[in-house]
Amino acid sequence: MKNLFDTTKNITDDLEMRVYTSQILGQDSNLVLHGGGNTSVKIDNTLYVKGSGWNLDTIEKEGFSPVDLDVLIEMASRDELSDTQMVKEQRAALRNQDLSNPSPSPSIEAILHAIIPFKFVDHTHADAVVTISNTPNGKKLIQDLYGENMLIIDYVMPGFILAKKIFDETRDVDFSTLDGIILLNHGVFTFDDDAKVAYDKMINIVTLAEEFIASNTTKSYHGNPKILEEGFLDQLQQEVANLRGCNVLLTSITTPQAITFSNIENIKEIVHRGGLTPEHVIRIKPFPAIIYQDINTSLKQFTNEYMNYFKNNSNTEHIMLDIAPKYAIIPGYGVVIFAKDEKEQKVSTDIVTHTICAILTAEQLESWTSLKASDLFEMEYWELEQAKLKK
């Protein structure tokens, strides 16, 4: 992985440095995709943490939420805290309470950033690291690759639960001995009092994972997309639009990787084992549709599977989202994306493209296995998003 830090820059302001290293982290899509990841800096008992709605590659100073550090640390010591209450208290702890020019809501990882005892904290969803962890033997592979100076945390839901888990597990840990924290199936944290050192640690951790993958896999992708019947994609687009209740754009991905992916014999079983990182489920649902010659039958099978997924994991408080697929696999052809507009189209296309590469890689390492359906459901039906629907 290329190190983008420009050593000729003369940046003395901590927040300005935080902006710079956040942007160069965000510029690499193998580290951060569309709002993923977050960063922070501690200045004078204030945590400046990436705010909701900002992307790392374009973030500026005003994109960092200034939160009272003591309040966040106290929150970590509690036994329970709902995400709704956490968000409310984090907003109440903002140093800036000017309603005419409000700060963005702090990241849901703000508490975790607060309890890491270093000035600069970086968090990414590095494809290479997460791909390795998304294998049946992933935890051992990660342990062997990084050794005893890497804190490895089993997957739990991001937010208070994750912060509480790390708070409890690091009470007797000397953070100065750690190279970083790897959250299995999720991402990587690095930290230091020097922004460049924290950034370098991230690049080094990911580079090691990339080198491991390169040494244990080949990139043998080939084939041309099969010719579909005339009007096939138009009919598919219209049927998905009917399911979603709005017009949709259809984008085809027919790269050699996508064609190879679509031709995997047990592809349906594989894609039901979870995505690249849990946050992606909000964008592309927990699994795609598999479209065979009969479009209506294929879509009916998808909607039945999605409704069963909802039924098996929901309670009476949940409101089901729309039942239309966000992408579909057409065996022998590749993958198609369904989106309501160009912005959603780009986001979904990028996420699916990265997911395809990760699954193909994991299948060569051993096999692909990510998160349980219940974990995906917990993220897709997060209480804060459900609250918006109920309003």
Q: Are strands 334-339 and 150-153 parallel, antiparallel or unpaired?
A: unpaired
DSSP 246: S
How many helices (H) does the chain have, and how many strands (E)? 16, 11
In a domain, 314, yes or no: yes
Same domain, 267 and 192: no
Give me the phi and psi of 292, to 5 degrees please: -100, -160
**CATH value at residue 192:** 3.40.225.10
Find out whether 268 and 260 touch, Cβ atoms under 8 Å: no
In a domain, 4, yes or no: no
For residues 172 and 161, give the distance between their C-alpha atoms in angstroms, rounded to a whole number.
19
For residues 27 and 33, give the distance between their C-alpha atoms in angstroms, rounded to a whole number.
9
- Last-in-domain residue among 192, 216, 240: 216
What does the angle CA 124 – CA 205 – CA 53 come to, to the nearest 5 degrees? 10
Same domain, 77 and 207: yes
- Last-in-domain residue among 162, 192, 216: 216
Find out whether 211 and 154 touch, Cβ atoms under 8 Å: no
| Owner of token pair 């687009």 | 237
In a domain, 223, yes or no: no
Same domain, 281 and 337: yes
* Cβ neighbours of residue 120 closer than 8 Å, sequence gap 6 or more: 17, 18, 21, 39, 40, 41, 191, 192, 193, 194, 195, 198
> What is the predicted pLDDT for the residue at 389?
57
How many domains is the chain partitioned into structurally?
Answer: 2
The domain containing residue 103 runs over which residues?
Answer: 14-216
> What is the predicted pLDDT for the residue at 391?
57
Same domain, 186 and 43: yes
Same domain, 79 and 138: yes
Per-residue tens of pLDDT for the chain, all 391 residues? 999 999 999 999 999 999 999 999 999 999 999 888 999 999 999 999 999 889 999 999 999 999 999 999 999 999 999 988 999 999 999 998 887 888 999 999 999 999 999 999 999 999 999 999 999 999 999 999 999 999 999 999 998 999 999 999 998 999 999 999 999 999 999 999 999 999 999 999 999 999 999 999 998 888 899 999 999 999 999 999 999 999 999 999 999 999 999 999 999 999 999 999 998 999 999 999 999 999 999 999 999 999 999 999 999 989 999 999 999 999 999 999 999 999 999 999 999 999 999 999 999 999 999 999 999 999 999 887 776 556 5
In a domain, 187, yes or no: yes
- Last-in-domain residue among 216, 240, 274: 216
Half-sphere exposure of 210 (CA within 13 A, CB side): 12
Length of the chain: 391
pTM of the complete model: 0.94
> What is the predicted pLDDT for the residue at 57?
95
Residue ranges with strand state E in the chain: 38-43, 46-50, 64-68, 120-124, 150-153, 180-183, 187-192, 249-253, 289-290, 327-330, 334-339
> What is the predicted pLDDT for the residue at 314?
96
In a domain, 322, yes or no: yes
